[in-house]
Amino acid sequence: MNLILEMLSYPFLARAFMGGILVSLCAALLGVSLVLKRYSMIGDGLSHVSFGALSVAVAIGWAPLAVSVPVVVLAAYFLLRITENSRVKSDAAIAMISAGALAVGIVATSLSTGMATDVNSYMFGSILAMSPSDVRLMVVLSGAVLGLFGFCYNKMFAVTFDENFARAAGVKVSLYNVLIAVLTAVTIVLGMRMMGAMLISSLIIFPAVTSMRIFKSFRGVTVCSGVVSVVCFCVGMTMSYRFSTPAGASIVLVNLAMFGVFWAAARCVGR
């Protein structure tokens, strides 16, 4: 308890906690839909695109967020279209886009001098990256995500479970898909500054997969994902502070451990 109070006495750590909890929550909720729709790789692809866009922005000297948010939103839209269009093999396309964006980012970094520490922190994350304006953006983002799940929960379920049926029932499926993609893109851009481009997709995928071990209803999985994600984030941050380990990696390890616990629990119950 003292440890937590001590951590929160640093303003930058308090900001990191606040922002991180919101991002974890958003990523987990969106993750349920993405994982169930078999779009997990989109999260991973977007984080690489986001890294590329940030590196280029830093190299040229533009504001990183103003460049990367639109680029990643566009990328999200295209990745969704590729996945919907069965003529293109989507896993290959995502892998190509990921590697391409990563390469662009690395080349842009090596061509520009100085600034390398910034890019390094985008790659593996840094709790120092969280500024007050970032936290404000995260509050807006989480408001949008919670609003989507609160007011359109039943439509989200229908769109996730069966797009064709939802479409026949008059739900604007494409609108919801674009909405999910855009919110995911913003979540990734905001989250990767703390978690790092290489690790942010775990925030999207782990909580949903973990919850699916035990919960059998969509509502259960959604609620549990949110809780698991926030708990893992807080534990991971505390451990990172206590043992001086990188924050992003610590959080992913806690998520991995949580998955192990849920998996073992499901095994014991005998499913």
Partner 1 sequence: MSALITCSHVDFGYENQDAVMDLTLEIDEGDYFCVLGVNGSGKSTLVKGLLGLIKPTGGSLVVSQELKKTGIGYLPQQTSAQKDFPATVWEVVLSGALGLIGNRPFYRRREKEMALSAMERLGISDLRRRCYRELSGGQQQRVLIARALCAARKMLILDEPVTGLDPQAIQEFYSLVRELNRDGMTIFMVTHDVANVVGQAGKILHLQQKVLFYGSPEEYVKTAEGRGFLGGGAV
Query: Which residues in this chain contact partner 1 in the complex, by CB under 8 A?
Result: 36-38, 150-155, 157-158, 161-162, 164-171, 212, 215-221
Of the pair 12, 161, the CB lying nearest partner 1 is at 161
Of the pair 39, 122, the CB lying nearest partner 1 is at 39
State the nearest-atom distance from the C-beta of 1 to partner 1, in Å: 35
* Orientation angle between helical segments 247-269 and 218-243, nearest 10 degrees: 130
As a whole number of angstroms, the distance between CA 103 and CA 41 comes to 18
State the nearest-atom distance from the C-beta of 234 to partner 1, in Å: 25
Of the pair 160, 202, the CB lying nearest partner 1 is at 160
Of the pair 38, 267, the CB lying nearest partner 1 is at 38
State the nearest-atom distance from the C-beta of 90 to partner 1, in Å: 13
State the nearest-atom distance from the C-beta of 271 to partner 1, in Å: 8
Of 74, 78, 69, 116, give the one whose Cα is nearest residue 96. Answer: 78
State the nearest-atom distance from the C-beta of 146 to partner 1, in Å: 13
Q: Are 23 and 191 spatial neighbours (Cβ–Cβ below 8 Å)?
A: yes
Of 136, 134, 176, 129, give the one whose Cα is nearest residue 152. Answer: 176
Which tokens belong to 55?
A: 């590196």
As a whole number of angstroms, the distance between CA 261 and CA 206 comes to 13
Which tokens belong to 224?
A: 């549990």
Quote the DSSP letter at residue 197. Answer: T
Of the pair 219, 242, the CB lying nearest partner 1 is at 219
Which tokens belong to 180?
A: 């999910």
State the nearest-atom distance from the C-beta of 220 to partner 1, in Å: 7
Quote the DSSP letter at residue 128. Answer: G
Of 76, 39, 97, give the one whose Cα is nearest residue 181. Answer: 76
